[in-house]
A and B are shown apart, each in its own frame.
Chain A
Amino acid sequence: MSKDQALIAYVTRMGDNAIVMAQRLSEWVGHGPELEEEMAMSNFALDYVGQARMFFSYAGELDGKRRSEDDICFLRDGWDYGNVLLVEQPNGDFGETIARLVLFETFYSLQLEALATSPATKLAEIAARAIKESTYHLRHASNWLIRLGDGTDESHRRVQNAIDRLWTYTAELFEADPVDQIMQSEWQGPDLTVLREHWHRQIDELLAKATLQKPEDGWMDSGGKGGHHSEHLGYILAEMQSMQRTYPGANW
């Protein structure tokens, strides 16, 4: 794999993570525990859509096949999607959505921070833009995690269960495949070993504040980066892509 191919694959994956998160969070519209949280989740979803658009447009520019952001988003199948398994997991209850946000955004913020100095200038610019949003998402989700973890017995139990359940998808974040390795050596992408240490430190601190237990690393699931997904992604794509699949080339 050339360094340019690795960059295209990496940028597309970042778009995949963002768009799948956007889809998941927007499922809360009409179902939020309170109006303010519905606004929060839909605001976050909107930020993710915007970030996905920038990543996909950039990937399209790089590969020179004249693919638009819409082509990349709507005309690829599940096996072409390289999002991590964590982001496609169902929302569960509000606590589980918060737990997933915290686990992912802690990673994503660190990833963006590392990329903000990449010699791939456009990627660095998108990262610098996105980090501002990622920071306030993480702030909001962290406050909720503390509130739920250190709240009632019921909220504590549910959010602890959510963390335990999602934990199995966290190792994949730090698994460096050839794309990650080339990104690190050629484009100053993050060193995932170092990033993992930072992630654990931040998560430890936050879980302690939220009076939650850190799960043991048991069997860890992975495969999303390589296009091997859980059954959940297919449903997300079916819904998201239905218009473009039914009326190819439709504009609105």
Chain B
Amino acid sequence: MQAARKTLETSAWEILEQIPDPEIPVLSIVDLGIVRSVEVDGTKVTVGVAPTYSGCPATEFIEDSVVKSLQSGGITQVSIRRVLSPPWTSDWISDRGRQKLRKYGIAPPEKGAVARGRLLGDPMATERIVACPRCGSENTEKVSEFGSTACKASYKCIECLEPFEYFKCI
């Protein structure tokens, strides 16, 4: 019984690791750090999912794809639990996720910025060094704090002249 439960949990995680984030498909939802838990009760699996931003339009889509993917992987009884606490921050993105982001051309968020209380400190402290994900230069400029999705800002590299996106710290 113990072994069977373990297997179900492991295979659920394996499936979840394959589910791409709909807005940044290079990241899986596990890399993004929004899958908080997988609980197994007999044949029933409950997945704890934390939304990124309150208004992230992908939240329902993600929950739906979790249910569908697990079901097509043979896990029929699936339910979703929305987890608010502790709230998701960009610090939840895994190291592997950060590497994937950089490779994809999105500068990953500065690690630990949130944990260090950056957001609760001086609200004016906005400037930070963001390295270009293409050439690595730190000679970059913020174009806009807002970008194609709620979680990204727009930057450009002064060295290689490429525009790029930066996954914001929140």
Contacts and interface: CB of A to CB of B under 8 A. Distances in A.
B84 A125 contact: yes
Given A133-B170, A136-B170, A54 B144 contact: no
B124 A143 contact: yes
A50 B124 contact: no
A129 B123 contact: no
A40 B85 contact: no
B54 A128 contact: no
B120 to A, nearest CB: 7
Nearest to B122: A139
Contact of B55 (A51, A126, A136): A51
Which label, helix, strand, loop or mixed, suits the secondary structure of the A interface?
helix
A36 B143 contact: yes
Interface in B39-95: 51, 53-57, 84-87, 89
A129 B170 CA distance: 10
B147 A39 contact: yes
B146 interface: yes
Interface string B117-148: 00110011010000000000000000111110
A24 to B, nearest CB: 15
Contacts of A51: 54-55
Contacts of A136: 119, 168, 170
A39 to B, nearest CB: 4
A188 interface: no
Contacts of B89: 132
Interface string A1-24: 000000000000000000000000
Contacts of A132: 87, 89, 119, 170
Contact of B87 (A36, A48, A50, A129): A129
B150 interface: yes
Interface in A127-171: 128-130, 132-133, 135-136, 138-140, 142-143
Nearest to B170: A132
Q: Most chain-A Cβ atoms within 10 A of its Cβ — which of B56, B86, B150, B168?
A: B150
Contact of A46 (B55, B119, B154, B168): B55
B139 to A, nearest CB: 21
Contacts of A128: 84-87
A53 B124 CA distance: 29
B123 A125 contact: no
Interface string B156-170: 000000000000101
Nearest to B121: A135
Nearest to A139: B123
A12 B54 CA distance: 17
A251 B146 CA distance: 30
Contact of B123 (A36, A43, A48, A135): A135
Contacts of A39: 144, 146-147
Nearest to A130: B54
A36 B144 contact: yes
Given A50-B51, A133-B170, A143 B146 contact: no
B149 to A, nearest CB: 9
A49 interface: yes
A47 B124 contact: no
A124 B85 CA distance: 9
Given A125-B84, A133-B54, A136-B170, 15 more contacts: A45-B55, A48-B55, A49-B54, A49-B55, A51-B55, A53-B54, A128-B86, A129-B85, A130-B54, A132-B87, A132-B89, A135-B123, A138-B123, A139-B124, A140-B145
15 contacts: A35-B144, A36-B143, A46-B56, A48-B55, A50-B55, A50-B56, A51-B54, A51-B55, A54-B84, A122-B84, A130-B54, A132-B89, A135-B119, A136-B170, A143-B126
Interface of A: 35-36, 39-40, 43, 45-51, 53-54, 122, 124-126, 128-130, 132-133, 135-136, 138-140, 142-143
